[in-house]
Chain A
Amino acid sequence: DGGITQSPKYLFRKEGQNVTLSCEQNLNHDAMYWYRQDPGQGLRLIYYSQIVNDFQKGDIAEGYSVSREKKESFPLTVTSAQKNPTAFYLCASSIIAGHPAQPQHFGDGTRLSIL
């Protein structure tokens, strides 16, 4: 079955530690996205990528980094510079097309907490 796989489901970060969240898709989608969701807030875009080896900052990129070495994979690193990392992290992907835009499909998410 095609889909988006995020791992781990739960992650705990110690003070000063970098942690990496995995996102893999087998939908052959060109575009991939990382969002952060906090209680009472909508999804906020962290980073996005439309092609391999290229990615762009979203609205809240500070304290995060990404790579896109393969079409299928878009890992997110939460660095120690991100002082408030506790949130639900969602990876999404979509086909790139002209108009109309194609919907994004989401993985199951990773819940990150501070120890």
Chain B
Amino acid sequence: QKEVEQNSGPLSVPEGAIASLNCTYSDRGSQSFFWYRQYSGKSPELIMFIYSNGDKEDGRFTAQLNKASQYVSLLIRDSQPSDSATYLCAVNKNSGGYQKVTFGIGTKLQVIP
């Protein structure tokens, strides 16, 4: 089982719809959770981070965390063609004093105009 699992996609949604991106993780000791957006050929850009169970909203983005189910998701409301990118889920745990971050393979999102 991979430490961080994401469906590679592509996930296609029409413009204006809600895009739902999902991520599961295997280590119950994981403490912090990050979502990065990566455009083709570019480096990852931090979108959101979440530490506590529940929802965290920032503009059109909502991160959801359920530690009991070991599941974290990212919702993008009113999806725009400019949201088309690969979304990386990253999970952090403290490992021997080092904050180890493990990345998923990313989900490719396509927003269709």
Q: Is A103 an interface residue (CB 8 A)?
A: yes
Question: Would you call B32 and A100 a contact (CB within 8 A)?
Answer: yes
Classify chain A: how many residues form its interface, as a range: 20 to 34
With contact pairs A96-B99, A100-B31, A103-B34 given, residues A42 and B43 touching in the complex (Cβ less than 8 Å): no
Chain A residues with CB under 8 Å of B90's CB are 104
Q: Nearest Cβ in chain B — how far from A25, in angstroms?
A: 13
With contact pairs A40-B105, A42-B104, A99-B31 given, residues A107 and B99 touching in the complex (Cβ less than 8 Å): no
Interface string of A74-115 (1 = CB under 8 A from B): 000000000000000010001010011101111111000000
Q: Is B60 an interface residue (CB 8 A)?
A: no
Q: Which of A50, A99, A107 contacts B43 (CB 8 A)?
A: A107
Q: Nearest Cβ in chain A — how far from B89, in angstroms?
A: 9
Q: State in angstroms the CA–CA spacing of A42 and B90 once bound together.
A: 10
Question: Which residues of B come within 8 Å of A, CB atoms?
Answer: 4, 8, 31-32, 34, 42-46, 49, 51, 88, 90, 92, 94, 98-106
Question: Which residues of A come within 8 Å of B, CB atoms?
Answer: 31, 35, 40-43, 45, 48, 50, 56, 90, 94, 96, 99-101, 103-109
